[in-house]
A and B are shown apart, each in its own frame.
Chain A
Amino acid sequence: NAGVTQTPKFRVLKTGQSMTLLCAQDMNHEYMYWYRQDPGMGLRLIHYSVGEGTTAKGEVPDGYNVSRLKKQNFLLGLESAAPSQTSVYFCASSYAEEGSSYNEQFFGPGTRLTVL
């Protein structure tokens, strides 16, 4: 199993450009998440999804859109990139366990995005 994979690994954008980050998981997880990681600030949740066709806002959703058309994929879009969106982006996924309230999140290797 590849686990959680992210594409691309690195990207440089100019202000105003758009792009899509792809996350794929092969663990049949119901839940998927997008985080951004900035120095000294830990990870912050951008958006998440509890199943195919559903998405919800996290802590820092402004400037981002997401889509979950297939259970195994979760896309993060930047419509008009800004320098403030320079960050490392991590995707994660987890089970929806029957009868359990808790679930481990499995993280991908990250995408380093620079917006000039």
Chain B
Amino acid sequence: GENVEQHPSTLSVQEGDSAVIKCTYSDSASNYFPWYKQELGKGPQLIIDIRSNVGEKKDQRIAVTLNKTAKHFSLHITETQPEDSAVYFCAASRGAGSARQLTFGSGTQLTVLP
């Protein structure tokens, strides 16, 4: 089955700096890579996703890059703000036309210091 590794497990940045979280996956057939943000006491919420047919996607201060050859993808947050502090999870899945069985990374606790 799929295995997703996520690094680092904790990350502290100064407000205004950039943050980068990296994930690697094992199944070359995986074709969908979402990123979820989980605030304390809440369920995860999708913040951005990327399909295997594109190499980069950007949404305001958030961007995701995908390297299919190396089987890794990364989340980039620019101009970080205190409200970006949360746990971030990457995930991967394969298949099409049916329920997505996501395999999640172990999470990164991001702390943005004021």
Contact = CB atoms under 8 A, between A and B. Distances in A.
B49 A102 contact: yes
B25 interface: no
B39 to A, nearest CB: 11
Interface of A: 4, 31, 33, 40-45, 48-50, 56, 58-59, 90, 92, 94, 96, 101-110
Interface of B: 1, 4, 6, 9, 31-32, 34, 36, 41-46, 49, 51, 89, 95-107
Nearest to B45: A107
Specify the main secondary structure of chain B where it touches its partner.
loop
A108 B49 contact: no
Contacts of B104: 42-44
B2 to A, nearest CB: 9
Report which residue of B43, B46, B100, B106 has the largest number of chain A beta carbons within 10 angstroms of its beta carbon.
Answer: B43
